[in-house]
Structure 1
Amino acid sequence: MDDNTDPAAFAVPTLQTRVESWECDFNDHWNARYYSRSFQMAAETVAALAGGENPGMAAIALRVIRFHRELRAGAAVEIRSLRVADGPHAGAAVHLLSSAGALSATAFDLPGTGASRLPAIRSGLLATALPRGDILAKLAATSRPGDHLTMSGPVRPDDLDHRGALLYETIIRRVGHGMYDRLALAGLTPEFTRDTGIGRMAAQSSVRPVHRPCPPGTVLRVRSRISQVGAKIFSTWHCLEAADGTALAHIAHDMLAVDLERRRAVTPPAFLQDAVG
């Protein structure tokens, strides 16, 4: 394979689905929750390729999703999966989510459960899928006294997978509420977006689940803070917890401030820098 090879041409199809209208957010784009659900379904398919038991959420210890292109209602979606052949990420599973032949998002999974059965592609061809930045350092951050707390309500049976673990999409949805609450408190509100045309879009999301029991009825909360603001990207840190403080997942989001009319990244609003904690 040369440097112009499309990795998707050698990857194994692991999910076909479509974007439903009720799965789109207030920007009319496919919500991150459903990208996440699709990647998890592809990962569980890979884990069970040899006919063994589906491990559910236990298939992943770390996932990094990178977003490249928005999807809207009606879009056909395909995920194709492969294994990183070399370098520091050798053995990891990579999932490529596309629509109409154009890449929309990627997921990088460790430890790569079941990935030994996937085609191996050298890392030099996977620049759009490999994590950017020091992900482990971001996720290793711990709580601080000034963290914002959002109460997320109790766990329901449909929040859990077939083995009783919190669904990946549940983690993303609950943390999304916490992030929205924290950013709104800082000033990034629907009113600000309406008045200025400046909104936000996800660039990269990193999740490290903590595999411990979370039975129905468990009350959840989200601990959040704005961790860094750069020239174009701002970052948030979160911990999804039981109400007693037991950690259930650690999450780091990298977001772009975007001029929604020109569809271009812009400098994040100054009030976000003021809110870094």
Structure 2
Amino acid sequence: MPALETLLSFVNTWECDENDHLNVQFYFAKFEEADRQFRLLTGFSDAVAGPRRVRHVRYHAELRSAVPIKIRSYIAFDGPHMLSVVHEMIETSTNEISATAIDGYTPNQSAAKQLRTRFKDVEDTMNAKANPRGVSPSPFVGKPTIDDLTSNGSTVTCRGTVLSRDVTPEGKADDGFAIGLISDAVSHAWERTPMKTSWLDENYYGRIAMEQKLTWISPLKTGDAVVVLSSFTGVQNNVFSLRHHIYESRTNRLAAVCDMVALTMDLEKRSIVPIENDVREKILSLQAS
């Protein structure tokens, strides 16, 4: 099998959230580490394929505390990008895929044949489970200002600072930091709907992410203060979508954008809770135009 084993890890209790499963920021952090190992093992780099344009994660099954996990990584040329590095997170005890990540690259077209030859030993057909479903695979484009967003219904949902523990060896804020901000921001977005914390607690429900796509626009470094603005972008019978913009606060520079699909989960039954009509109507009224 061409895929390489790029991570052997474990779900620690301190990595789990109020829903008693692995928090999304640690999925991204573990995919980030798997990608570092993949690059080390294969010689894959930005110099070879250009910078990563997007990381697209889908969550397929819950990972509860105290379970061992592994990640398998490979290159696919049949995915939604010209070149994709695909990571599959697997619960070792059951051998079931718990999450997948697609790292999308757009190398020079003239280099495609050379890349196929260079990485033929780690090339495979992309697992259908990794295909984007509720979020477009394309990287976010555009540079809206904070004023643009607030005038169109977005609200501030999080503020924070990049600390030394949040950066990569290259000195840039990592995916785990960005998704950690989003994880905190989401609760404030939900408070704008009837699905408030009091309602969730009363019914023993939880906030769940099903899919997330992270696009870095510009880097953040240690000491940078950041602000997150969130907006609703769609709603269906069981799920709704949001977009989160992360800005560097001093200059109001757009740093990253995260699109996501969310739902409510019954924490006792571990099942999806359908969205009631009044909730759907409220989300529609909040949706950015």
Matched with 2:54 is 62
- Could you tell me how far 1:184 is from its partner in structure 2? 2.0
Runs of at least 5 residues in structure 2 that lack an aligned partner in the other structure: 108-114
Q: Distance in 1 between matches of 2:106 and 2:230?
A: 28
Cα offset for 1:88?
A: 4.6
Query: What CA distance in whole angstroms lies between the structure 1 residues aligned with 2:97 and 2:158?
Result: 35
* Counterpart check, 1:220 vs 2:220: no
Q: 1:134 and 1:74, CA in 2 relative to 1: closer, same or farther beyond 3 A?
A: closer
Counterpart in the other structure of 1:79:
71
1:219: how far off? 1.1
Alpha-carbon separation, structure 2, partners of 1:234 and 1:62: 21
Q: How does 1:164-243 map to 2 (within 5 A)?
A: 164-212=171-219, 214-243=220-249
CA distance in 1, matches of 2:53, 2:79: 19
**SS at the partner of 2:257?**
strand
Query: CA, structure 1 residues 242+17, in 2 after alignment: closer, same or farther (shift >3 Å)?
Result: same
Query: How many angstroms does 1:167 deviate by?
Result: 0.9
For the residues of structure 2 that align with 1:260 and 1:272, how far apart are their CA atoms? 23
Is the CA contact 1:61–1:110 (under 8 Å) kept in the aligned structure 2?
Answer: yes
Cα distance, 1:25 vs structure 2: 0.1
Q: Report the counterpart of residue 84 of structure 2 in structure 1.
A: 92
Instruction: Name the CA distance, whole Å, in 2 between partners of 1:112 and 1:50.
Output: 18
Residue 264 of structure 1 aligns with an amino acid whose one-letter code is: S
Q: How far apart, in 1, do the equivalents of 2:43 and 2:78 lie?
A: 27
Specify whether residues 245 and 136 from structure 1 end up closer, same or farther in structure 2 by C-alpha distance, changes over 3 A only. Answer: farther
1:5: which partner in 2? none
Read off the aligned partner of 2:22 and give its amino acid letter.
W
1:42, 1:174 → 2: CA distance?
21
Q: Is the 8 A contact 1:11 1:119 kept in 2?
A: yes
Structure 1 position 34, deviation (Å): 0.7
Q: Aligned to 2:130, what secondary structure does the other structure show? A: coil
Deviation, 1:93, is 0.9
Using the TM superposition, name which of 245-254 and 262-271 deviates more.
Answer: 262-271
Q: CA deviation at 1:153?
A: 2.3
Q: Using the alignment, how far apart are the partners of 1:92 and 1:44 within structure 2?
A: 15
Q: Is 1:44–1:59's contact at 8 Å kept on the other side of the alignment?
A: no
Change (3 A) 1:19 1:54: farther
The 2-side partners of 1:137 and 1:129 are apart by: 14
Relative distance call for 1:193 and 1:31 in structure 2 (3 A) is same
Q: 1:104 aligns with which of 98, 107, 120?
A: 98
Counterpart code for 1:177: D
Question: What residue is the counterpart of 1:152 in the other structure?
Answer: 159
Compute the TM-score of the two structures, normalised by the length of structure 2. 0.82
Aligned-partner Cα distance in 1 for 2:51–2:89:
19
Instruction: Determine the C-alpha separation between the residues in 2 that align with 1:151 and 1:178.
Output: 5
Q: Counterpart of 1:4?
A: none
What residue is the counterpart of 1:129 in the other structure? 130
- Unaligned stretches of 5+ residues in structure 1: 1-8
Aligned residue for 1:251? 258
Distance 1:53 1:207 in 2: 19
Cα deviation code 1:96-152 (max 9, x no counterpart): 0011211100000111899953532224xx110121255256834745212111342
**What SS does the corresponding residue of 1:272 show, helix, strand or coil?**
helix
- In structure 2, the partner of 1:276 is 287
- After TM superposition, the structure 1 stretch with the greater mean CA deviation from structure 2, 101-110 or 197-206, is 197-206
> Equivalents in 2 of 1:87, 1:218: separation in Å?
35
User: d(CA) in 1 for partners of 2:192 and 2:7?
Assistant: 38
Secondary structure of 1:93's aligned partner: strand
Local SS of the residue matching 1:106: strand
1:191: how far off? 1.6
* TM norm structure 1: 0.85
The total of aligned residue pairs comes to 264
Cα distance in 1 for partners of 2:85, 2:138 equals 21
CA positional deviation for 1:189: 2.9
RMSD of aligned residue pairs (Cα, Å): 2.6
1:219-273 per-residue CA deviation (whole Å, 9 max, x = no partner) reads 1000101111111110010111111320111110111222333322232241434
